[in-house]
Amino acid sequence: MSPQTRLVLLTMRALYELLRYEVLNRVFGFKRMQGELAAQRPGKRVCSPKETKRIVDAVSLACCFYFKPVLCLQRSTVAARLLKKAGADARFVIGYRSAPFLSHAWVEVDGRVVNDSQAYKERLKVLCVV
């Protein structure tokens, strides 16, 4: 399979996951999504750094085509789900700063932020890790 075909398929999967997030979050709330993500274990195979980047890029591309703006919470939930399915030990993290208030969600693999700037990890206090 060509790299372009793989990117298209991953992007379509990410679009599906964004829509799934939208429906489940609206019906059951974020607590359910968080519990589902916590229960998900990494897949059997090992996800290489190259594959991790491919998945994160596909999620970013899917966010461009989604029918409404995608926030960090949605983007990070979808990225963490796809990375876990691919075999990565992905951690979904929510951080905050109290004054002036700021909150943000990101994904870490092996202690490294993969879908955003490393600065969030360094400057925000961790509120939740799934």
Does residue 106 register a pLDDT over 90?
A: yes
Domain range for 48: 3-129
pTM: 0.93
Q: How many structural domains compose the chain? A: 1
Of the chain, the end-to-end C-alpha distance in Å amounts to 33
Residue 54: the pLDDT is: 94
Residues 6+ apart with CB under 8 A from 123: 97
Residue 9: the pLDDT is: 95
Does residue 42 register a pLDDT over 90?
A: no
pLDDT in tens, 64-78: 999 999 999 999 999
**9-16 long-range contacts, CB within 8 A, separation 24+:** 10/54, 10/55, 10/58, 10/82, 11/58, 11/61, 11/62, 11/65, 12/62, 13/58, 13/82, 14/55, 14/58, 14/59, 14/61, 14/62, 14/63, 14/78, 14/82, 15/62, 15/65, 15/66
pLDDT in tens, 17-37: 999 999 999 999 988 888 999
